[in-house]
Structure 1
C-alpha cells in the first residue's frame, strides 16, 4: 500500500511540475509577444536628410546625370506644381520591409505636401534590388494607382536596371509617370 501511495505522490509531483513549467513558459511567450512589434508598425526614427529632388545616397548616378535629373524634376515641379523626389539608398533598417520604408521616408520628407498634396517619390536600391514608387493619397486617388506604378516599375524601369542602366531606368519610369500625371 505504501508503494501505491509513493507512486501516486510521484505521479502527482510530476504532473504538478509539468503544469508549473507550462504555466511559466506560456507567461514568457506572452511577454515576448507583447514586446515584438509587427514589421508594419515599427516607426523609423532616422532617415537620411533630404538634399534636393535627387538624393543619390547609393551613388549610382554620374554628376552629369544628377544635374540633368535635378533640372528635369525642378522644371516639372515649377510648371506643373507637382513634386517628384528620386532617392537611391544602399540599405534600410532590418526591422522593416522596403515598401514600408519607402512610404515612411516619403511621408517623413513631406514630398508633395507643399504642392497641394501632389507628390511622389521613387526609392531605388541597387544593393537590395528593390524599387518603390510612393505617391501621396491625392496623387494615387486621382492619377497614379499602385497598379499603374507597379506596371511602370515592371515594364519600364526593371528592364533597364537589369542592364545596369540605372539612370535610363529612372528616366523612362519618370517619363511614363509624368505622361499619365498630366
Structure 2
C-alpha cells in the first residue's frame, strides 16, 4: 500500500481515537507532527512523473491535461527541450519549502535531456498562490531569471488571479516556447 495513504489513514485513525481524550493543543501538535512526517515521506518517495503534466492538486480536467501534454510533447519533438508541469497540494509541502521541493522534483524526475540539461519544471500551488519555474543549466544560458519572472507576471498570473489555471498555464507555456524559439534561432 502507498506510504502516503497509510500515513493519511493513521492520521485520521489517531485523530478520531484520541479526539475526545486529549486536549485541543495536544491534538493540534499531533496533527502537525503527522503532517510533518507525511511531507518527509512525500519528499523521499516522490511519485513517478506520469507525463509532462502532473496535476496533484486536481485543478485541471483530464481534457485540459491532455491538451497541455500534447502541446509540450510537440514542442519537445521540435526542439528537444523538455517542459514539465507539476501542481503541488499544500499538504505535501510547507509554504517555505515550496521552492526547494520544486527543485527536488526537477532533479529527481530528470527534466531535460542528459548532457544538455535543457529542462524546465513549472511548479504551481493553487493553495499557496505560488509558482516557480526551475530552469536546467542549459536553459539558464538563454532564459534568465528576469525573463522567467516577466513571463510569470505577464502570462501566468493574470489568468491565475481569475481562477483560470488551464488558461494561465497555456499562456505561460506558449510564451516560454515562443521566447525560446526566438533565442534558439538567434544562436
TM normalised by structure 2 equals 0.69
Q: In the aligned structure 1, how far is the partner of 2:152 from the partner of 2:50?
A: 24
Q: After the TM superposition, which segments of 4 or more aligned residues of structure 1 sit over 6 Å from their partners? A: none
- 8 A contact 2:84–2:122 mirrored in 1: yes
| Equivalent in the alignment of 1:66 | 65
Q: In the aligned structure 1, how far is the partner of 2:95 from the partner of 2:124?
A: 18
| Equivalent in the alignment of 1:49 | 48
Unaligned runs of at least 5 residues, structure 2:
1-42, 182-187
Q: 1:94: Cα distance to partner?
A: 3.2
Q: In the aligned structure 1, how far is the partner of 2:97 from the partner of 2:153?
A: 19
| Equivalent in the alignment of 1:122 | 122
- 8 A contact 2:80–2:113 mirrored in 1: no
Q: In the aligned structure 1, how far is the partner of 2:175 from the partner of 2:163?
A: 20
Unaligned runs of at least 5 residues, structure 1:
1-43
Structure of larger gyration radius: 1
Secondary structure of 1:123's counterpart equals strand
Matched length: 138
| Equivalent in the alignment of 1:147 | 146
After superposition, the CA RMSD in angstroms is: 1.6
| Equivalent in the alignment of 1:166 | 165
Secondary structure of 2:44's counterpart equals coil
Q: 1:113: Cα distance to partner?
A: 3.1
TM normalised by structure 1 equals 0.71
Q: In the aligned structure 1, how far is the partner of 2:53 from the partner of 2:171?
A: 15
Flag the 1:95–1:165 CA change in 2: closer, same or farther, 3 A.
closer
Secondary structure of 2:120's counterpart equals strand
- 8 A contact 1:161–1:169 mirrored in 2: yes
Q: In the aligned structure 2, how far is the partner of 1:62 from the partner of 1:71?
A: 14
Q: 1:47: Cα distance to partner?
A: 1.9
Secondary structure of 2:123's counterpart equals strand
> For 1:20-79, what per-residue CA distance to the aligned partner results, in whole angstroms no more than 9, with x for missing partners?
xxxxxxxxxxxxxxxxxxxxxxxx423232111110111111111111111111111111
Q: 1:115: Cα distance to partner?
A: 7.0
Secondary structure of 1:84's counterpart equals strand
Q: In the aligned structure 2, how far is the partner of 1:71 from the partner of 1:93?
A: 28
> For 1:115-157, what per-residue CA distance to the aligned partner results, in whole angstroms no more than 9, with x for missing partners?
722110111110111100110011012x111111111111111
